[in-house]
A = this chain, B = another copy of it.
Amino acid sequence: MDPTQGPPRPTSPTIYDVAKACGVAPSTVSRAFSRPGRVNAETAERIRKVAAELGYRTNPLARGLPTGKTSLLALIVADVTNPFFFQIIRGAEQVARKAGYTMLVADVEESMETEREALDRVIPLVEGIVLATSRLSDSSIRVAAKQRPTVVLNRVMTDIPSVVTDNARGMRRAVEHLVELGHTTIMYVAGPEASWVDGMRWRSLREATYELELRPRRIGPFPPTVDGGLAAARAFGDSPTSAVIVYNDLMAIGMMRGLTEMGTRIPEDVSVVGFDNIFGSDFCTPPLTTVAAPLHNLGAFAIKTLLGRLGTDTPRTLRPALLPSQLIVRGSTARRH
């Protein structure tokens, strides 16, 4: 090995250095760190002390080679730029960190292609994977899951642990809220067609309205962005209702802006409900009534689930974990005029 080739940085001490300084065998040093029980208490203490003095840190890479335990977890997100994911990432990181894992966050920019590449790059590195709002097909996900324990977030699969928001309950609460305000016809403004969540929300709305004897309506699909909401506002003009429930907050914000520009007053003319309670939904105008997703908890719970799967090879429970959402009433909904 050419020493001028490798990293020219001051090479950090290894177990060999510590072993020499302690007068014990390298394997003992290794044991002192990886299974402290299997080494004489005093010796272990001495080793730890010397190691600290030398500034020894076990090299996770080297440890990973023989054991496969890299202490790395992957979180693949559809779009780091989408505020929906901020709290998810943080929740995930917190739990991972506490468990001694480092998280590798990969942004796939909503592209299936990029997601597959990210997976390829990341799989050999990590012990487990969380797919947050994956754009991959079920079968692609299964392929990945065969290589590393995998948890899907925001999507339900029957053979892979899933963590999702309880959309049905959330939708139900939103509808009840609107009914209490006197609305009788509710328009659902749909998000992307391919989205599992969109399908779920629309179905939940139909069920809720059916039970409450309301008429649901629907326009869309629209892209799940502010611009998509703008487009929805224009389409909505053709057959307005007094209340709309929008696929997500981003679209709801866009739609409110579009509506306002067209002279429609919110909430006087139209009540608007969004989904997710993302950053910004409280300071748009008017502040958005929304079904808050438990974002932080979603991320945290996904990692917890993954951590639980790490040892065992057989999935525990395959019922998707349903995390409760919460209706947050703000200024965009009001009594029907």
Which residues of A are in contact with B by a Cβ distance under 8 Å?
Answer: 1, 5-10, 12, 57, 59-62, 64-68, 70, 72, 80-81, 83, 86-87, 89-90, 93, 97, 102-107, 109, 117, 120-122, 124-125, 127, 146-148, 226, 253, 257, 279-280, 283-285, 313
- Of the candidates B65, B147, B283, which one forms a contact with A65 in the assembled complex, judged by CB atoms under 8 Å apart? B65
Alpha-carbon separation in the docked complex, A121 to B100 (Å) = 9
Alpha-carbon separation in the docked complex, A64 to B84 (Å) = 35
Alpha-carbon separation in the docked complex, A30 to B72 (Å) = 25
Instruction: Write the nearest CB–CB distance from A30 to chain B, whole angstroms.
Output: 13
Identify the closest chain B residue to A296 (Cβ). B81
- Of the candidates B9, B60, B109, B279, which one forms a contact with A279 in the assembled complex, judged by CB atoms under 8 Å apart? B279
29 contacts between A and B (CB under 8 A): A6-B68, A7-B68, A7-B148, A8-B313, A9-B146, A10-B146, A10-B147, A12-B124, A61-B65, A61-B70, A65-B65, A80-B90, A81-B90, A83-B279, A86-B86, A90-B107, A93-B106, A93-B107, A102-B106, A102-B121, A102-B125, A103-B104, A104-B105, A226-B283, A253-B283, A257-B283, A279-B279, A280-B283, A283-B284
Query: Chain B residues with Cβ under 8 A from A57's Cβ?
Result: 120, 124
- Of the candidates B12, B70, B86, which one forms a contact with A80 in the assembled complex, judged by CB atoms under 8 Å apart? B86
Q: Are B61 and A125 in contact (CB under 8 A)?
A: yes
Q: Are A86 and B81 in contact (CB under 8 A)?
A: yes
Instruction: Write the nearest CB–CB distance from A115 to chain B, whole angstroms.
Output: 12
List 8 A-B pairs, minimum CB-CB distance, nearest first: A285-B285, A7-B68, A280-B280, A105-B105, A6-B68, A81-B86, A8-B313, A93-B107
Instruction: Write the nearest CB–CB distance from A211 to chain B, whole angstroms.
Output: 34
Instruction: Work out how many copies of this chain go into the complex.
Output: 2
Instruction: Write the nearest CB–CB distance from A146 to chain B, whole angstroms.
Output: 7
Query: Chain B residues with Cβ under 8 A from A8's Cβ?
Result: 313
Q: Are B9 and A59 in contact (CB under 8 A)?
A: no
Query: Chain B residues with Cβ under 8 A from A9's Cβ?
Result: 146-148
Q: Are A80 and B102 in contact (CB under 8 A)?
A: no
Identify the closest chain B residue to A280 (Cβ). B280
Query: Chain B residues with Cβ under 8 A from A257's Cβ?
Result: 283
Alpha-carbon separation in the docked complex, A199 to B294 (Å) = 37
Query: Chain B residues with Cβ under 8 A from A83's Cβ?
Result: 83, 86, 279
* Contact A64/B67 with A104-B104, A284-B283, A284-B284 known, Cβ cut-off 8 Å: no
Instruction: Write the nearest CB–CB distance from A12 to chain B, whole angstroms.
Output: 7
Identify the closest chain B residue to A127 (Cβ). B7
Alpha-carbon separation in the docked complex, A61 to B59 (Å) = 11
A-B contacts besides A7-B148, A104-B104, 8 pairs, CB < 8 Å: A9-B147, A60-B124, A60-B125, A61-B125, A83-B83, A103-B106, A104-B105, A280-B280
Alpha-carbon separation in the docked complex, A4 to B19 (Å) = 29
Instruction: Write the nearest CB–CB distance from A305 to chain B, whole angstroms.
Output: 18
Identify the closest chain B residue to A71 (Cβ). B121
